[in-house]
Amino acid sequence: MTFLNPFSKKKTKIKEKPKVIVDHREKNSLVISELIKLGFEIEFKQLPVADYLINNTAIERKTIPDFKSSIINKRIMQQLLELKQYPSQILILEGLETEDPYSGAIHENAFRGFLLSIILEYQIPIIFTLNEKDTAKYISVLAKKQPKKESAIRASKIMLSDKEQLQFILEGFPNIGPIAAKKLLKHFKTLKNIANAVEDELKEIIGKKAERLYKLINKRT
């Protein structure tokens, strides 16, 4: 029989809890409670980029409806560029358990095309999860797979140039992507000139897309 010596000077090493840095806006997410159940220490910070940081991997978490909304209002473009400031990035799309990603305002092939664009052009991997619990489990596995190191990256919101801001405004209109926006700015030079252009002038530059743009610019409320 072995007896423990209460006077032994040998120190028992306390296992340190793995830590996840979380943006303060995620406080009400069920992912947090699931991570705590899995034994993680949570440190809340005001993160200018991403929702979760594990070492130098940035994770952007979106529910499927929020992701679709961010595609429509073009917000996702800047968020993806900001994520690229980190050596590793992951986009988590949450909610397969209750949401059909191929239904709703965005055509299913347009949705597929956007996912492929994120993977091929932005080179950001995408993970679909069932729910908050599933999301937490993916974060847990990632934390265990990565070597522990200090997060040295100081990411920040990307400030757009004047030209990029003008393009961003135009891309907020339906059917106006980056190519059409650049064509309009190259030809008309200013937003004022675009707003004052007649429909036929706009059609010469961007074709049928001009019809909806012209109607919205001249719509009375």
Q: What is the pLDDT of residue 11?
A: 58
Find the radius of gyration of the CA atoms of the chain: 24
For residue 14, the 8-state DSSP code is P
Asked if residue 129 lies in contact with residue 138, where contact means CB atoms within 8 angstroms, the answer is yes
Fold of 162-217: DNA polymerase; domain 1 (1.10.150)
Q: What is the pLDDT of residue 169?
A: 79
Q: What is the pLDDT of residue 98?
A: 95
What is the Cβ-side half-sphere exposure of residue 211, based on CA atoms within 13 angstroms?
2
pTM of the model: 0.66
Three-state helix/strand/coil letters over the chain = CCCCCCCCCCCCCCCCCCEEEEEHHHCCCHHHHHHHHCCCEEEEECCCCCCEEECCEEEEEEEHHHHHHHHHCCHHHHHHHHHCCCCEEEEEEECCCCCCCCCCCCCHHHHHHHHHHHHHCCCCCEEEECCHHHHHHHHHHHHHHCCCCCCCCCCCCCCCCHHHHHHHHHCCCCCCCHHHHHHHHHHHCCHHHHHHCCHHHHHHHHCCHHHHHHHHHCCCC
* Check whether domain 19-145 has CATH 3.30.230.70, yes or no: no
From first to last of its 221 residues, the chain has per-residue pLDDT tens of 555 565 555 555 556 778 899 999 999 999 999 999 999 999 999 998 899 999 889 999 999 999 999 988 888 888 898 898 898 999 999 999 999 999 988 889 889 988 998 999 889 999 999 999 999 999 999 988 866 555 544 555 655 677 877 887 787 787 787 788 889 999 999 999 999 999 999 999 999 988 989 888 888 76
Backbone torsions φ then ψ of 174, nearest 5 degrees: -55, 140
Specify the domain boundaries for CATH 3.40.50.10130 within the chain.
19-145
**9 is written with which tokens?**
């000077």
Specify the domain boundaries for CATH 1.10.150.20 within the chain.
162-217
